[in-house]
């Protein structure tokens, strides 16, 4: 791990007015912004039909409009290890610091207490490294109402979690949050008190709402009743999308570009997707227009006086890009220390110290291995340990093991093809037999097109003299080779002919 020495002062964020937005958020979007005087807020926020305010909703799954969703269904597996402690809310109606109670199934309900408040003082932040991605969180998976739940959540448990709603909004989403250059840290309010068994408590709250995050999202969504909730959320979505169910609609928030490994668009920004495209492996997400999209959610323990809060890692997942088998690549992640004490971060034999509420750049390496002829998406989990810098510091827990999900697009560095090509020998040979067109496998582009061991029936044997011409050129799209051999013909005397070995070399170029 390497530490970035550059630092910049963060601008303190102005505290948001809580009272002005609490009821509006609960009534307009079912947001977790309820406060005393706002009765009837749902346990789990449910977006209204047709998408949230400011979102564009497309028609249902008729006429193949949900074909792009198949790419998201396939990609969801690659994000199974990505943490998703965010609540979706495109209206920015939630109140940072408000307490939340999390049930055993993962559903959140609001608590009428302000458990945390933004810290007023500025804190150092790591400067972006050259070429650092503008996106620090990518996610493809399922949301139930406004809660990101992954892919395999059990739907019946979500309806039997003690809530009062008999209808849930189920969404297959692709979302990306842009990098937060001014990360928000929180401190406890007067409602946070020491807990009898240690730590601290804030009423019945288990978590609190963090800062608003900006980004973009594409969602395929449908309502589900308690009687329809069988099996997993992803299974129900797969079934409805495969059946072309008109109850499934597409909604875009902000402008998110989603492309497959071949670069073909599979979803678009506001107004829906153009074309279709097929899912050919991993998806690439790019935010064209960022809007307020979600709120971070943190455990109450993060604001306890002697808590070793789990640090934030961005970007997630950590993407190494395209790396051929056997090659070594590096990627950087930014660690933000949310604890109120200085910490020591250890990864293997390397370690680095990070001040309280400070940041550091961590460097990871990966040498992917495999034998697939084509683009392969690999994922793995890397772990580092976080301990207080002062071994005697009275913090709980004493250390944290932080998992960093990582992904890489890989494959054989090159693909080669060799084949002897020849016409028959005769006065008027069929030169069409010496013309071949080859295409590189998916995920590869041409590196070399070459005729080898050529031999033509000219006086010197050359295939580029006495009327012979032998060419090998890359196709206009750069994805294959065209080999051509032409020569003389005669109806009276002499034999003619053309022979060579066509050789094509393609290099890995997954997008």
Of 258, 191, 245, the C-alpha closest to 218 is: 258
pLDDT in tens, 322-367: 999 999 999 999 999 999 899 999 998 899 999 999 999 999 999 9
Residue 368's closest CA among 407, 394, 398?
407
| For residue 6, pLDDT beyond 60 | no
At residue 164 the predicted structure's pLDDT band, cuts being 50, 70 and 90, is low
pLDDT tens for each residue of 393-426: 888 899 999 999 999 999 999 999 999 999 999 9
**pLDDT above 70: residue 447:** yes
Q: How many CA atoms does the CB half-sphere of 355 hold within 13 Å?
A: 8
Q: Which of 68-72, 206-210, 243-247, 272-276 has the lowest mean pLDDT?
A: 272-276
Give the mean pLDDT of 273-297: 69
pLDDT of residue 184: 86
DSSP symbol at 426 = B
Taking the C-alpha atoms of residue 157 and residue 226, their distance in angstroms, rounded to an integer, is: 10
Please, are residues 234 and 73 in contact by the beta-carbon 8 Å criterion?
yes
Question: For residues 200 and 300, what is the distance between their CA atoms, to the nearest angstrom?
Answer: 8
**b/e burial code for range 275-284 (CB count within 10 A of at least 16 → b):** eebebbbbbb
CB atoms within 10 A of CB 94: 31
The whole-chain average pLDDT of the chain stands at: 80
Q: Any bridge partners for residue 209, and if so which?
A: 297
29 within 8 A of 41, measured Cβ to Cβ: no
Asked whether residue 283 carries a pLDDT value surpassing 50, the answer given is: yes
CA distances for 381 relative to 14, 80, 261, 406, angstroms: 37, 11, 22, 6
Which run of H or E residues covers position 342?
none
Q: Which residues contact 241 (CB under 8 A, 6 or more apart)?
A: 61, 66, 69, 70, 73, 172, 220, 248
pLDDT of 18 higher than 80 = no
Q: How many CB atoms lie within 10 A of CB 417?
A: 14
* One-character DSSP codes across 39-64: TT--SS--PPTT-STT-EE---SGGG
Q: How many CB atoms lie within 10 A of CB 11?
A: 9
Q: What is the pLDDT of residue 166?
A: 75
pTM: 0.74
Q: Is 364 exposed, middle or buried (0-12, 13-18, 19+ CB in 10 A)?
A: middle
Eight-state DSSP code of residue 259: E
* Weakest mean pLDDT among 119-123, 204-208, 248-252, 487-491: 119-123
Residue 432 corresponds to which tokens in the numbers above?
Answer: 């069409």
Q: Assess whether pLDDT exceeds 90 at residue 150.
A: no
pLDDT-derived band at 232 (thresholds 50, 70, 90) equals: confident
Is the pLDDT at 11 greater than 70? The verdict is no
Give the largest CA-CA distance in the chain: 108
What is the distance between the terminal CA atoms of the chain, rounded to a whole angstrom? Answer: 27
Write down the pLDDT at residue 473.
96
- Look at residue 282 and tell me whether its pLDDT is greater than 90: no
159: left (phi over 0), alpha (psi -120 to 50) or beta: alpha
Whether the link from the prior residue into 315 is cis, omega within 30° of 0, is yes
Q: For 201-226, how does the pLDDT look when each residue is reduced to its tens digit (9 = 90+)?
A: 999 999 999 999 999 999 999 998 88
Peptide bond into 317 cis (omega under 30): yes
Write down the pLDDT at residue 2: 45
In the predicted structure, residue 1 carries a pLDDT above the cut 90: no
Nearest Cα residue to 88 out of 34, 47, 129: 47
Please report which confidence band the pLDDT of residue 284 belongs to, taking 50, 70 and 90 as the band edges: confident
pLDDT of residue 356: 92
pLDDT at residue 12, rounded to an integer: 40
pLDDT of residue 402: 94
Whether the predicted pLDDT of 8 surpasses 70 = no
The most confident of the ranges 111-125, 189-203, 373-387, 443-457 is 443-457
In angstroms, the CA 100 to CA 82 distance is 22
Q: What is the mean pLDDT of residues 370-394?
A: 90
Share of the chain above pLDDT 90, in %: 47
The answer to whether 16 and 27 have CB atoms below 8 angstroms apart is no
Q: Pick 387 or 340 by higher pLDDT.
A: 387
């Amino acid at each position: 791990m390497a530490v970035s020495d550059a630092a910049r002062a963060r601008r303190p964020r102005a505290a948001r007015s809580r009272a002005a937005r609490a009821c509006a958020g609960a009534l307009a979007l079912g947001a977790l912004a309820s406060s005393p005087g706002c009765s009837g807020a749902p346990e789990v926020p449910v977006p209204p039909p047709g998408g949230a305010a400011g979102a564009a909703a497309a028609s249902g799954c008729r006429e193949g409009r949900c074909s792009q969703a198949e790419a998201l269904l396939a990609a969801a597996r690659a994000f199974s290890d990505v943490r998703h402690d965010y609540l979706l809310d495109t209206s920015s109606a939630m109140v940072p610091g408000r307490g939340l109670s999390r049930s055993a199934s993962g559903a959140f309900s609001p608590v009428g207490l302000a458990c945390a408040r933004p810290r007023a003082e500025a804190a150092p932040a790591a400067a972006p490294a050259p070429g650092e991605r503008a996106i620090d969180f990518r996610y493809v998976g399922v949301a139930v109402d406004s809660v990101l739940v992954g892919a395999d959540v059990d739907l019946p448990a979500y309806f039997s979690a003690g809530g009062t709603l008999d209808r849930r909004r189920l969404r297959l989403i692709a979302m990306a949050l842009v990098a937060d250059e001014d990360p928000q840290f929180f401190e406890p309010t007067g409602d946070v008190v020491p807990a009898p068994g240690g730590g601290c408590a804030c009423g019945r709250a288990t978590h609190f709402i963090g800062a608003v995050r900006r980004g973009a999202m594409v969602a395929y969504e449908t309502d589900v009743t308690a009687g329809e909730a069988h099996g997993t959320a992803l299974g129900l979505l797969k079934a409805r999308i495969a059946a072309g169910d008109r109850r499934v609609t597409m909604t875009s928030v902000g402008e998110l570009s989603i492309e497959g490994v071949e670069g073909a668009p599979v979803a678009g920004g506001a107004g829906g997707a153009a074309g279709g495209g097929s899912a050919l492996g991993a998806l690439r997400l790019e935010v064209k227009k960022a809007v307020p999209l979600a709120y971070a959610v943190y455990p109450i323990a993060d604001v306890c006086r002697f808590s070793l809060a789990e640090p934030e890692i961005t970007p997630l997942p950590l993407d190494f890009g395209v790396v051929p088998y056997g090659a070594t690549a590096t990627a950087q992640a930014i660690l933000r220390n949310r604890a109120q004490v200085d910490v020591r971060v250890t990864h293997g034999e390397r370690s680095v110290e990070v001040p309280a509420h400070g940041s550091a750049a961590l460097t990871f390496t990966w040498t992917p291995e495999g034998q697939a002829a084509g683009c392969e998406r690999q994922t793995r989990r890397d772990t580092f340990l976080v301990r207080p810098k002062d071994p005697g510091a009275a913090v709980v827990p004493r250390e944290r093991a932080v998992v960093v999900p990582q992904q890489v697009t890989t494959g054989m560095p090159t693909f080669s093809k060799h084949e002897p090509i020849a016409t028959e020998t005769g006065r008027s040979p069929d030169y069409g037999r010496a013309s071949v067109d080859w295409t590189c496998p998916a995920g590869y582009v041409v590196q070399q097109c070459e005729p080898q061991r050529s031999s033509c029936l000219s006086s010197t044997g050359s295939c580029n003299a006495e009327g012979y011409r032998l060419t090998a050129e890359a196709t206009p799209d750069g994805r294959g080779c065209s080999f051509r051999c032409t020569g003389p013909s005669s109806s009276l005397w002499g034999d003619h002919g053309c022979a060579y070995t066509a050789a094509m070399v393609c290099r890995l170029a997954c997008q």
